Amino acid sequence: MTHLEGKAASPVQLARAMLGDEEWTEFDLSRDGVEGWGPSHDPDARPETRVRYVGLDVMIDLIHRSLARGEAVVWGTVDHALLIYGADYDGNGKPLSYLIKDSLPPYTYRASAETIHATLNDVTVTTQPDSIARTSYKHPSAGASPKP
């Protein structure tokens, strides 16, 4: 049990208060090019955890869409999770750097987008139930992917 605004709240109540109608969805990098739902490769994940495997370009687009909505992104390397809470872009909208919140020193810093993209293993963003996360991801420059 935890507390929210001085009142006891269950984990489900806290999640609903924070996310509203949205939910957290994890997108993992598809290293073999196959996209779709599958079990997490994270050894610390619960056995029932399902993630959506996507390409790097999709993960980068999910970061930009979340930041454009004013929402932070949880991103992970193969052994660490961090938070992206902002970005700097060039005149064409290409990311130059990200603002990072880390649990390790220096805690907050600016990292080059190229460095982040090279180590990107997964991103977790908020999505609407039965949205792209439940069916397929539609990249803005591509047609709809078939449903799994």
pLDDT in tens, 17-43: 665 666 778 999 999 999 999 999 888
What are the φ and ψ backbone dihedral angles of 135, each rounded to 5 degrees?
-110, -85
Question: What pLDDT sits at residue 7?
Answer: 85
C-alpha angle with apex 30: 52 to 34, nearest 5 degrees? 85
Whole-model pTM over 0.85? no
**What is residue 5's three-state secondary structure?**
coil
Dist CA 134 CA 86 (whole Å): 26
Q: What are phi and psi of 26, to 5 degrees?
A: -95, 130
Least reliable range by pLDDT among 48-52, 93-97, 111-115, 130-134: 130-134
